[in-house]
Structure 1
């Protein structure tokens, strides 16, 4: 009890040297807290992206093969991708889940738009398809099994407004707040939509669909993206109904149970009827563009942490030895009074522990305040370097990186939250530093003989 009381009183008897020690402790803990939060946040984000990108298999049209075939033979027609084929591929045992969607260009003459629309007809011909007479598209209908799983909602770019719900029935839809304000629409209202094509592939006239507004969404657009508000989200099933659609554009993301099964899954998909004019592969562009910079960010944080700990510990060692030399007479008096070496050492360690305890709390608070700005700055710098400054181009449904396209959006935010793991790591660092400082102080104190110290009085 005496040791604890004396150690506590010594904190106020010698404020100058204790404040100097506290300043070093506080600086180390604060910087370590920032570095650990950045490192752990970056590692978590990189792991999420790696897990998704390594198991996500994207089904895309091989435009190069289609164009080459069409140039050789103008009668060439691209093999169609059907809902039945996607469902057949999705039944593979290699998959843990499948996220598929369909998109259709549509018109709705009853709605108002932010820009004037041309209501005339045009003739279009996609590579590998017959020419067809169509209307000029006014908006995009995007259909999902579960609209909440759509990329804009998953990434947080789009949010459902209060009072609305995601579509539950096949004839329900979500519209943008831009479209809702222009037309005075609210949940429960009905809109009419029609494909830009007049007939299906057999020449039968397409019907007009009636969609009930189940909710309204607000979407934040990135740099280079246009806020058109013309994307309407609905259910996947209605866009595969031949009464309403000419041929929707299908998208499918397959998620493997094991990334090593990619080749086996591809062989199975082609054997199921998938044409060679479609490709299956992982998004290597997104991995190189987004994951590697985050991993480098984590490495930078770890290097910074190591430098802080090495320099901080070195300064503490020197400071502790100097403080003991300054307190040599005090130590001599305690030893002459009969206090054992172990108790003197325990008092010095306890003083360091009390200072460190206060600095640990303050350092965690300060570190948590600085962590998010530092994380944002490092992230912006890493992404800017990886994407060669302004070469990142965002567009509808994807991103361009080095001239290559990816459907994944760049990482724009990493949450620098202070978790229990980080706190435990900081406590461990504090204990090590306290032990080192206390051990050096005790070792230096034990070198001096009490009678010699009192005799010399310096």
Structure 2
């Protein structure tokens, strides 16, 4: 108890000296916190992209074949995926998972919309089909087997802020803008309908009643299109023929092993996949997006090592100088009969107490600076690596070095402070405090108490 009491008194007795030590501790912990957050965040994002891009199978339409077919036959229609085909492919033993969705343009006249709503009828014609009377779309319905797997929610920019994801077939998630405009909250219902009046057989399409299960918020970047009209619901609802004319199907297939691509392709064509599709993995995006993020992790790790090396060196030098100033105090304690072990324990305890306070402040400051620094590093790395991405052919694909990819660059890495990072910082703080205390102890123990007292002046 005496050792603890005396250590606390020394912290306030030697305020200037301890503040200098604390400032160095705080600087090291804060910079280490930022470096660790950037390192852990970039590594996590890189692993996610590596896993997805190396195993995700891209189903791209062969535009050359389509153009040739359309030139030979005016009624030729671009091939599309069907629900039946997706289910067949999803059952392949080569796949570890399949994320599929359906999209439908819809109207909901009872709802308010952030932009002016045009309720006039228009005529639409698909290739190989007759003119059909439709409405202009007001909303877009996206159906997923598991809405949380939608790319919008996986990217981190779209977050559920109220309620939960749909579990029943008639439930949906809407934007906070749409909820505010219409006074909707989880549990409320509204009606929506396809922009088509009838199905392909001429039967009138019914309205669907949607129940709000949750509300999401989209963090828009400057210049990004507002998508508060996007409504996410269950996949099966949009495949129900009572409500839909012909939904647009999309699917992402993820291989267990990237080397199984050719085998999966043969299986897909045998199952009925059109010859106008070609299957591939996105090596362009893998090289363009993953490597810059991995370099971020390397840079932050090097920075962490430099900070720890310089910080530890300064702390050790400062600890040895402090002991020289406190020789007389140490001599008195030893002359009074205090054992070397207790003197050492007091010196180490003082370092630990200072470090504990600096750890709390450093974590707070580090978490405050981590996100801006992460964003700055990511922006710099991407601009350097990609040399300015451009849209390829106006299709929404990105082009890098003449090669195109449908995947979008990594534009955001969450720099949230995790339990792992806090644990690592606590370990660093403990090692630094122990090292500083050990140096102080080693310097103090080499002085004989009587000699210290004789040489006081």
> Normalising by structure 1, what TM-score?
0.78
Distance in structure 1 (CA, Å) of the matches to 2:301 and 2:322: 31
SS in 2 for 1:209: coil
**Structure 2 partner of 1:138:** 136
Number of the residue aligned with 2:445: 446
The 1:148–1:346 alpha-carbon spacing in structure 2 relative to 1, beyond 3 Å, is closer
Which residue of structure 1 aligns with residue 272 of structure 2? 273
Equivalence for 1:456: 455
Q: Structure 1 residue 212 and structure 2 residue 214: aligned?
A: no
What do the CA deviations read for 1:287-327 (whole angstroms, capped 9, x no partner)?
Answer: 44544333333223222211111111111121122222222
The equivalent of 1:114 in structure 2 is 116
- Give a deviation string over 1:312-365, Cα, whole Å, max 9, x none: 111112112222222233334444555554444343333323322332333333
Aligned to 1:322: 321
Question: Quick check: 1:101–1:251 contact (8 Å CA) kept in 2?
Answer: yes
Question: 1:195 matched to which residue of 2?
Answer: 196
Alignment of 1:294-313 (within 5 A): 294-313=293-312
* CA shift for structure 1 position 425: 1.5
Tell me the CA shift for residue 179 of structure 1: 7.7
CA contact (8 A) 2:147 2:165 kept: no
Q: Take 1:415 and 1:406, find their aligned partners in 2: how far apart are those partners?
A: 26
Mapped partners of 2:232, 2:364: distance in 1:
43
**Within-5 A mapping of 1:297-376:** 297-376=296-375
Corresponding residue for 1:56?
56
- SS state of the match for residue 37, structure 2? helix
Confirm or deny: 8 A CA contact 1:165 1:214 kept in the other structure.
no
Residue 84 (structure 2) aligns with: 84
Equivalences for 1:2-17 in 2 at 5 Å? 2-17=2-17
Contact 2:34/2:369, CA 8 A, preserved across alignment: yes
Could you give the per-residue CA deviations for residues 91-131 of structure 1, whole angstroms, max 9, x where no partner exists?
11122332222335567899997254774436554xxxx36
What's the offset of the Cα at 1:86? Answer: 1.8
Q: Distance in 2 between matches of 1:399 and 1:387?
A: 14
For 1:151, the equivalent position in structure 2 comes to 151
Closer/same/farther in 2, CA of residues 73 and 162 from structure 1, 3 Å limit: same
In 1, the alpha carbon distance for the partners of 2:183 and 2:328 equals: 85
SS of aligned partner of 1:100: strand
Give the distance between the partners of 2:82 and 2:423, measured in 1 at CA. Answer: 53
> Quick check: 1:398–1:405 contact (8 Å CA) kept in 2?
no
Give yes or no for contact 1:399–1:409 (8 Å, CA) kept in 2. Answer: no
* Stretch deviating more after TM superposition (88-97 or 325-334): 325-334
Change (3 A) 1:27 1:178: closer
CA distance in 2, matches of 1:78, 1:368: 50
Q: How does 1:403-414 map to 2 (within 5 A)?
A: 404-407=404-407, 410-414=410-414
Tell me how far apart the structure 2 counterparts of residues 154 and 253 of structure 1 sit (CA, whole Å): 14
| 1:256-267 matched pairs, under 5 angstroms | 256-267=255-266
Cα offset, 1:372, TM superposition? 3.6
1:190 partner SS: strand
Provide the rounded CA distance (Å) in 2 between the counterparts of 1:399 and 1:222.
Answer: 19
How many Å separate the matches in 2 of 1:178 and 1:428? 44
Q: 1:51 to 1:397 in 2, by over 3 A?
A: farther
Contact 2:173 2:231 in 1 (8 A): yes
Name which of structure 1's ranges 274-283 and 426-435 shifts more when overlaid on structure 2: 274-283
2:431 counterpart of 1:432: yes
Q: Secondary structure of the residue that 2:131 maps to in structure 1?
A: strand
Change in Cα spacing, 1:194 to 1:362, as seen in structure 2 (3 Å) is closer
CA deviation string 1:355-381 (max 9, x = no partner): 223323333333333334433443444
1:29 aligns with 29
- Following the alignment from structure 1 to structure 2, what is the Cα–Cα distance between the partners of residues 85 and 233? 23
- How many angstroms apart in 2 are the aligned matches of 1:397 and 1:231? 20
User: Aligned equivalents of 1:195 and 1:299: distance in 2?
Assistant: 54
Quick one: structure 1 residues 372 and 248, their matched pair in 2 at CA, closer, same or farther if it must change by over 3 Å? closer
By how many angstroms is 1:238 displaced? 5.8
3-state secondary structure, aligned to 2:92: coil
Q: Secondary structure at the match of 1:195?
A: coil
CA contact (8 A) 2:101 2:250 kept: yes
Q: Any gaps of 5 or more consecutive residues in structure 2?
A: none
Displacement of 1:414: 0.4
Extract unaligned runs of 5+ from structure 1: none
Report deviation, 1:21. Answer: 1.5
Indicate if the aligned counterparts of 1:206 and 1:244 stay in contact, CA closer than 8 A: no
Structure 2 contact 42–413 (Cα < 8 Å) conserved: no
Superposed CA offset, 1:417-450 (max 9, x none): 242x222212221222122212222222333344
Q: Distance in 2 between matches of 1:305 and 1:162?
A: 38
Distance 2:135 2:61 in 1: 22
SS in 1 for 2:279: strand
Deviation at 1:285, TM superposition (A): 4.7
